[in-house]
Amino acid sequence: MQSKTHIMKFNHLSFPSRDVPATASFFEQHLDWQVTAMGRSRMLKGYGFDVVIEDAADRPVDWPGNFHIGFELPSLEALRGLYERFQSDGVEFASGLITHERGSRFFCRVPGGVLVELNTREDAAAPFRAGFGLV
């Protein structure tokens, strides 16, 4: 018998932004999320889970240096295409395109301050591929 924790799925994440409209616009414009206003906050829908961007215009938001959220793309070609599109759109990068044993990736900073990782595991080394359902 499975325990209830084995049937859980990821539901949402929530983070503050001092500029909710700009943060939501980034997700809508660059990552194709659907945005719904909730007062001064925003609900983003897409990819099987939600992101809530909470209004923090009245207080400082300090992110720990290594805090980030990550999204995975299906292929290296898709990752490179998104990287090039972000370059032409003037997105603020925190890294270049990185080749890594866990797969290629890049980091950018979303308006409002949160660091976002975009990656693929298509080119990950064998020990890292199996854990993600890749052969």
Residue 82 and residue 129 share a domain: yes
CATH number, domain containing residue 33: 3.10.180.10
Tens digit of pLDDT for each residue in 75-116? 999 999 999 999 999 999 999 999 999 999 999 999 988 999
How far is 93 from 116, CA to CA, in rounded Å? 9
Tens digit of pLDDT for each residue in 46-60? 888 899 999 999 999
Q: What is the CA radius of gyration of the chain?
A: 16
Residue 71 and residue 31 share a domain: no
Q: How far is CA 36 from CA 1, 20, 22, 45, in A?
A: 39, 12, 14, 8
The boundaries of the domain holding residue 24 are: 10-58
52 domain-assigned? yes
5 domain-assigned? no
pTM attached to this predicted model: 0.86
Strand pairing report for 69-73 and 115-120: parallel
Q: How far is CA 77 from CA 3, 58, 97, in A?
A: 39, 41, 12
Residue 47 and residue 74 share a domain: no
Under the banding of pLDDT at 50, 70 and 90, the label for residue 135 is low
How many domains does the structure of the chain reveal? Answer: 2
